[in-house]
A and B are shown apart, each in its own frame.
Chain A
Amino acid sequence: MGKIIDMKDDNDAIDPQRRAFLGVAAGVTAAVTVAPGVLLHTVDAAPRAEPVTSDVRWGLLIDTAKCVDGCSACVDACHHENGLNLQTMPAEQAVKKWETQKPAWVRKVKLQDNQTGRMTTLPLMCQHCDDPPCVDVCPTGASFKRADGIVMVDRHLCIGCRYCMMACPYKARSFIHGDVHGQLTSVPRGKGCVESCNLCVQRRDFGQESTACVDACAAEGHHAIVFGDLKDPDSTICKLLNEMPSRQLREDLVLNTGVRYSGV
């Protein structure tokens, strides 16, 4: 009897081991079901030939001390890289509504400490949680976490319910309300789907080094964003995380985010 009560008490906490077991069980089932009919072919070329693995976990480290107020290089670069600038305000829509609803994968956010008056400015995008709430709530499996830690949306499966937008504590996702024309080949996107930062997944799969926002920030000479593999102890990002104090935003939610901030 006592044992049952103990178990009930544990129910509130997320048990990562149970999750891991379920994940492995699902994986094994899938492998057994799929393997006989599937033949993965391998070619040595620049584009990715093998499925992504969890040997890497991509992440960002943002040094807010280097982030400049009024600079929007990362936001502009993101828009250009992913074709977010293809959408314009619909003629019938109010400006205020458009400003709050237009697609934004990365936003510049200003924080003020009310007691000291200290201002901090930082770029806020999908935090690529290890335990993403958006994936938990998605009713169709469209919101998913890739093996390399990138949280993204499979637009083929997204039904546009926007539950994930409600679940995200970072307000990192946006919804496409209108028709899109002239999409980029590498970033298909269209009406009725939720979208968010995917750490430039098209760059990841073609073996490029960094993300559009990182490149833009470096080009401005600020170097406030560092991209890298959180699982590689020799990577620049890991060395920096080792040296300087950094935080997860809303660390009270225990999401183990892939994007870390220093100076907040």
Chain B
Amino acid sequence: MAKSVLTVGLVALGLVWALAQTAQADDMKRYVVAGSQAAKLESCVEPTELMRRQHMEFIKHQRIATVHEGIRIEKYSLSGCVDCHISYNAEQIPQPINQADQFCGACHAFAAVNLNCFDCHAAVPNGTPLDAAAMAAHDAAGVAAQVQSHRDGENH
């Protein structure tokens, strides 16, 4: 009897956890910087369904073009993900996008997929030569100063 109660309890706990994760992933998956390029679009650089399943393939091919051929205007870009989907706390400090409650991190936690991109890549906009559109968006959101202030990484 005690064993079955324990089992039911564990299952219930698991379900609550899964629900919480789902809710968090659900919350985060629509997040974009207000006023950013992405905010004005119906979907990301590809239809949402395609992005959810294929985003890793897109950036995997793009990285060859960028690293080996020096092409910097590819449609797909990891820093592009960060530029539009980064979120800021009350003090306007950007939150690393791979944190478990952020855009990339929440979904990867839900899907139980390791996220290694940000072992090397910047998880916040950090000294990037932002293009004019992204710059305007960050200006409008009142966060440009913070993005620039992290140029030398000394605040990390």
Contacts and interface: CB of A to CB of B under 8 A. Distances in A.
Nearest to B150: A182
Nearest to B83: A185
Contact of B122 (A49, A154, A185): A185
Interface string A61-88: 0000000000000000000100101100
A86 B119 CA distance: 14
A191 interface: yes
Contact of A185 (B69, B73, B128): B128
B120 A188 contact: yes
Given A86-B153, A190-B119, A205-B70, 10 more contacts: A45-B73, A47-B73, A50-B71, A86-B156, A146-B68, A148-B70, A156-B67, A182-B126, A182-B153, A185-B127
Contact of B120 (A48, A80, A180): A180
30 contacts: A41-B75, A47-B73, A49-B73, A51-B70, A51-B71, A52-B69, A52-B70, A147-B69, A154-B67, A154-B68, A155-B120, A181-B156, A182-B153, A183-B120, A183-B121, A183-B122, A183-B153, A184-B127, A185-B121, A185-B127, A186-B127, A186-B128, A186-B129, A189-B120, A190-B120, A193-B120, A205-B70, A205-B72, A206-B72, A206-B129
Interface of B: 63, 65, 67-73, 75, 79, 82, 119-122, 125-129, 131, 150-153, 155-156
Contacts of B72: 47-49, 205-206
Interface in A132-159: 144, 146-148, 152, 154-156
Interface residues of A, number: 39
Interface of A: 40-41, 43, 45, 47-52, 80, 83, 85-86, 144, 146-148, 152, 154-156, 179-186, 188-191, 193, 201, 204-206
- Max chain A C-beta neighbours (<10 A), residue from B70, B150, B153: B70
A16 to B, nearest CB: 22
- Max chain A C-beta neighbours (<10 A), residue from B82, B127, B150: B127
A85 B151 CA distance: 12
A52 B66 CA distance: 10
A40 B75 CA distance: 10
B70 A204 contact: yes
A155 B78 CA distance: 15
Contact of B126 (A45, A50, A155, A184): A184
Contacts of B68: 144, 146, 154
